[in-house]
Amino acid sequence: MPFLKVHIEGSQSIVKFEQGLSIREILESADIRIKSGCRGTGVCGLCKVRVVNGVMNPLTRNEEFFVSSPEVRLACQTLPLTDAAVEVLSPAPKSGWHILNSRYRSNIFNAIADPCISGADICYRVAVDLGTTNIMVSVIEMPSGRWIGGRMGINPQTAFGLDIISRLMAAAASDRIAYEQQKSVLTAIVDALTDISVREVLDLTKVTCCTIVGNTAMITLLAGCCCDTVLDPASWSRTTKLAVHTQKIMLAHTDLMHEADIDLVQPFAGFVGSDLLAGMFAAGITDSKRPALFMDFGTNTEIALWDGHTAWIASASGGPAFEANGISCGMPAEAGAISRVYLSAGGNSLFCCEVINNTEPKGICGSGLVDILACMLKTGMIDNKGRFTGESNERFNLGGDTQQIFLTSRDIDMIQRAKAGIAACIVSLCRRANMKMQSLERICIAGAFGRYLDIANAQAIGLLPVLDKNIFELWENAALIGCEKAALSCEQRHKLDDTRNKCKIINMADNENYEPVFFENLYLAPIEGMN
C-alpha cells in the first residue's frame, strides 16, 4: 500500500492510502485538518498543498484558477499515483472533534430517495451514536442520500463519572446534575454539527431530522427521565420506554434545527441499548439464516447471537478497559495511540509497535492492549493467571521510543475481568440458544476497538472464540452506520424496527451459570466452555 508523507506546522506524519483517493481524503482518513469550503469540489481554492515529491494526476481545470506554480496543488483535486510527500500550506484550526472517515460508507449509501420527502429541495438528516465514552455525529444530504461528514469526540458526561452507574446515580440523586448531564450532551452534539457545517458549508437550519441511538443509560440521561428504573436490577430484562420530549429541550439549548424532528431510537432494556440494534441492522445479521455473533465492544459490551430465527441479546459489564479508560497509559484509538504490538523477527522478545498516524506514541488503545497481553503471554513475561513471572511484579515498560508507556498488574487485572465477562456472556448465550459455538458462520466485531484488532491475539487471551479467522468481520462504527441507514428513509427506519422484533433479551444477572463460566475465563487462555 503506498504512503503519503505529510508535513504540517513543523510536524510530520506518514499515512498509508488506497489508490484513487485525493490528498484531501487521505488527510481526513488520518484526521489531519486542512482548510476547505466547497466539500471537495475544487471551487473554493482553500486546500492548498505543496508537492515535495511523488507522481500526481495532471492539473485539473478548477486548479488553474487558484495555483500559480506547478508544485502547488489543491488537495481535493490531487491524486497521488505513487508514494509521495506534501506540505500542507493552509492547515485548518485545531478542534476537539476528530473527523470521521468516509471510506466505509462507499457501499452503504447509494442515493436512497425517501418517499417521505417531496420536491427537490436539499435538506439534511443527522445521525448520532451516543456512547459512554465517545459521541459520533454524522450528516447526510437528502434526497440524494450523500454523506456530508462526521465527527467523533469525548462524551462530556465523563466529568460526572467514567462508568454509566456513576452517572445514573448522580442524576438520580440530583435534578440539577441530571439537567447538567443532559445539557452537556446536547451542547456537544450541536458543537459537532457546527464543526461540520463550518468545514462543509451547510445550513443547519435545513436539518429536518436527528436520529439518535445509544446504550440505555446514555439515552435515559439524554431523555432526562427513568434513571431510577435503569438502576433497578428488576428492570434490566424489561423493555425500556422513554418519553421523547428531547426535541423541546434541544431547541432550548440552540437556535439551530428549529424544524428538526428528534427520533430517539428506543433501547431494548436496562443495559442493552439501541446502539446494538443499529449495529445489527448495519451488518444485516438477521437478513439470512446464517448463525452469527455480533459484538459491540465498549464500556458496556453488548452482544447478539443470531441462531437463524431469534437474536439472543445481552450485555457484559466489562468496564472501560477496552476503550482504554482507567488503564495507566490508555487512550482512545486516535493519533499517537499504539494500536498494534508484535514481537520482533529476531526472536529476542523485543516489542515492536505501530502508532496511529505514525506519530510519537502517547499511549495505548484497546487493540494495542490485547496485543501486549498476547505477546507477554507468548514470551513468558506473564503466566496464564496474568501474574508477572520476572523480578518486577509492578509494571512492564515497552522500552525504546515507548519507554514512558507501561502496563501494570492492575491494568492486566482490569483487562482479564473485562474479557472474562465477555467470554462468559458468549458461552451463556450459546447455551441459551442450544447452539454450539462452532456452528457460527459470521462473527462481527464492532466499535472503534474493532478497527485495529488482531483476531489471533484476541483468541489467544480468551477474548474471542477460537474459530476460522475468515468468519470474522471488523465493523468500525457499526452503530453509527445503522443509525445513518435508519435516517435515510421511512422504509429503512421500519426495517430497523423489524430487526428489533426478532430479538429476545437475556439478563446475565439472572443466569445461574454465568458466574462459574466467568471465573473459568479469568485465565489468559482460549475461551472455556465453547462446546
Domain 3-94 has CATH 3.40.50.2020: no
Q: Please check whether residue 22 is in contact with residue 49, taking contact to mean a CB–CB distance below 8 angstroms.
A: no
In 159-283, alpha helices (H): 164-173, 175-200, 216-223, 227-231, 246-253, 274-283
Query: Cell numbers at residue 107, please?
Result: 457501499
- Please tell me the distance from the alpha carbon of residue 118 to that of residue 529, in angstroms, as a whole number: 55
Q: How far is Cα 73 from Cα 59, in angstroms, rounded to an integer?
A: 8
What local confidence, expressed as pLDDT, does residue 530 receive?
64
pLDDT for the residue 16: 87
> Residues with Cβ < 8 Å from 400, sequence gap 6 or more?
350
Which residues, other chains included, contact 518 with Cβ-Cβ below 8 Å and sequence gap of 6+?
420, 421, 423, 424
Burial degree of 152 (CB within 10 A; 0-12, 13-18, 19+) = buried
Query: 3-8 and 84-88 as β-strands: parallel, antiparallel, unpaired?
Result: parallel
* φ and ψ of 222, to 5 deg: -70, -40
Specify the pLDDT at position 41. 85
pLDDT of residue 402: 57
- Single out the residue of 136, 435, 173 nearest to residue 307, CA to CA: 435
CA atoms within 13 A on the CB side of 97: 24
C-alpha distances out from residue 486 to 114, 212, 476, Å: 11, 10, 17
With residue 431 as reference, give the H or E element that holds it. helix 409-432
Cα-based distances in Å from 323 to 68, 111, 270, 339: 47, 34, 21, 12
Smallest CA-to-CA distance from 326 within 152, 521, 163, 463 is with 163
Maximum distance among all alpha carbons in the chain? Answer: 73
Give the SS3 label for residue 395.
strand
Beta strand ranges found along 240-362 (DSSP E): 261-264, 292-296, 301-306, 311-316, 337-343, 351-355
Q: What angle do CA 255, 258, 264 make, to 5 degrees?
A: 110
- Of 43, 23, 45, 41, nearest to 32 (Cα)? 23
Please state the domain extents for the chain.
3-94, 99-271, 284-531
- Please name the residues in contact with 175: beta carbons below 8 A apart, sequence gap of 6 or more: none
| Amino acid making up residue 122 | I
Provide CB contacts within 8 A for 128, sequence distance 6+: 135, 136, 137, 138, 189, 210, 211, 212, 213, 214, 483
Position 79 scores a pLDDT of 96
- Residue 358: per-residue pLDDT: 74
Q: Do 445 and 295 touch, CB atoms closer than 8 A?
A: yes
* CATH, domain 99-271, list 3.30.420.480, 3.30.499.10, 3.90.230.10, 3.30.420.10: 3.30.420.480
For residue 518, what are the CA distances in angstroms to 111, 348, 402, 427, 428?
A: 46, 34, 33, 9, 10
The model carries a pTM of 0.84
DSSP string, 34-81: B--SSTTSSSS---EEEEEES-BPPPPTTGGGT--STTEEETTT--BS
Query: CA 164, 130, 313 angle in degrees (round to 5)?
Result: 70
Strand 207-214 vs strand 261-264: parallel, antiparallel, or unpaired?
parallel
Tens-digit pLDDT string for the chain (531 aa): 899 999 998 888 888 888 899 999 899 888 888 988 887 889 999 999 999 999 999 999 989 889 888 899 999 999 999 999 999 998 988 888 988 876 555 445 554 545 555 555 888 999 999 988 889 999 999 888 888 889 999 899 988 887 778 888 888 888 889 888 888 888 899 899 999 988 887 888 888 889 999 988 888 888 877 777 776 666 666 666 665 554 555 555 555 566 678 888 988 876 788 999 999 999 999 999 999 999 988 777 889 999 999 999 998 866 566 666 678 888 877 778 899 998 887 656 678 888 887 778 889 988 899 999 999 999 899 999 999 987 666 788 886 555 688 889 999 998 999 899 999 999 999 999 999 999 999 999 987 777 788 999 999 999 999 999 999 999 888 999 999 999 998 899 999 999 999 999 888 877 888 889 999 999 999 997 666
| pLDDT for res 133 | 81
pLDDT at position 444, please? Answer: 95
> Are the CB atoms for 127 and 499 separated by under 8 Å?
no
